[in-house]
């Protein structure tokens, strides 16, 4: 079973869904190396929960825990059941602020490569997510400029 990826919505559907569904980015904590890594997150405004693949869960060193089984249906009608989840620790654009969110572990037949976040997550945290890969954002610093008021006055007098 393949979990469908987020298809771009038309303008009208995007407005109804509460905004765009373009991928966003966050730093996700990797329990294997103790570092936060920039990770693309797929936004799915039609989903009621968050999902993560078994492969990504292993790569991040997350330990799945049993939960009350819950049935889900994909947009194309495929049904699947999740009986494990994991808490993902992540950091967004607000430096120094850490968040946790629960993600259901997708069946091993899923080909979803990135974490998928649903409407409750989007409504609460969209403003905290990066619009692009934070590892590729170029930061610049501006040097303060000192302006002499006397220089401005004298240049006006010369005109």
Q: Is residue 100 part of a domain?
A: yes
Give the 3-state secondary structure of the chain: CCCCCCCCCCHHHHHHHCCCCCCEEEEEEECCCCEEEEEEEEECCCCCCCEECHHHHHHCCCCCEEEEEEEEECCCCCEEEEEEEEEEEEECCCCCCEEEEEEEECCCCCCCCCCEECHHHHHHHHHHCECCCHHHCCCCCCCCCCCCHHHHHHHHHCC
Bridge partners of residue 24, in order along the sequence: 41
In this prediction, residues 26-52 reach a mean pLDDT of 92
Q: Is residue 154 part of a domain?
A: no
CB 24 within 8 A of CB 39: no
The winner for highest mean pLDDT among 3-17, 35-49, 130-144 is 35-49
Residue 104 lies in a domain: yes
Mean pLDDT of the 104-113 span: 88
Give the whole-angstrom CA distance, residue 65 versus residue 105: 9
In a domain, 102, yes or no: yes
* pLDDT score at 93: 87
Instruction: For residues 141 and 44, give the distance between their C-alpha atoms in angstroms, rounded to a whole number.
Output: 35
Domain limits for position 100: 11-134
89 lies in some domain: yes
C-alpha 127/C-alpha 99 separation (Å) is 13
CATH of the domain at 17: 2.40.70.10
Token pair recorded at residue 92: 């967004």
Assess if residue 147 is contained within a domain.
no
Q: What is the reported pTM? A: 0.72
Phi, psi of 12 (to 5 degrees): -65, -45
Number of domains present in the structure of the chain? 1
pLDDT digits (tens, 9 = 90+) for 123-146: 999 889 998 888 777 665 566 655
């Amino acid at each position: 079973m393949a979990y469908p990826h987020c298809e771009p919505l038309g303008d009208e559907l995007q407005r109804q869904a509460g905004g765009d569904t373009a991928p966003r980015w966050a730093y996700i904590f990797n329990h294997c190396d103790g570092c936060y890594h920039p990770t693309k997150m797929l936004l799915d405004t039609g989903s009621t929960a968050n999902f993560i693949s078994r492969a990504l869960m292993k790569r991040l060193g997350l330990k799945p825990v049993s939960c009350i089984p819950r049935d889900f249906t994909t947009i194309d009608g495929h049904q699947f059941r999740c009986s494990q989840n994991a808490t993902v620790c992540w950091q967004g654009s607000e430096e120094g602020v850490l968040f946790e969110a629960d993600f259901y572990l997708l069946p091993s037949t899923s080909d979803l490569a990135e974490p998928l976040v649903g409407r409750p997550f989007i409504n609460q945290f969209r403003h905290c997510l990066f619009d692009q890969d934070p590892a590729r954002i170029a930061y610049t610093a501006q040097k303060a400029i000192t302006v002499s008021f006397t220089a401005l006055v004298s240049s006006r007098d010369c005109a």
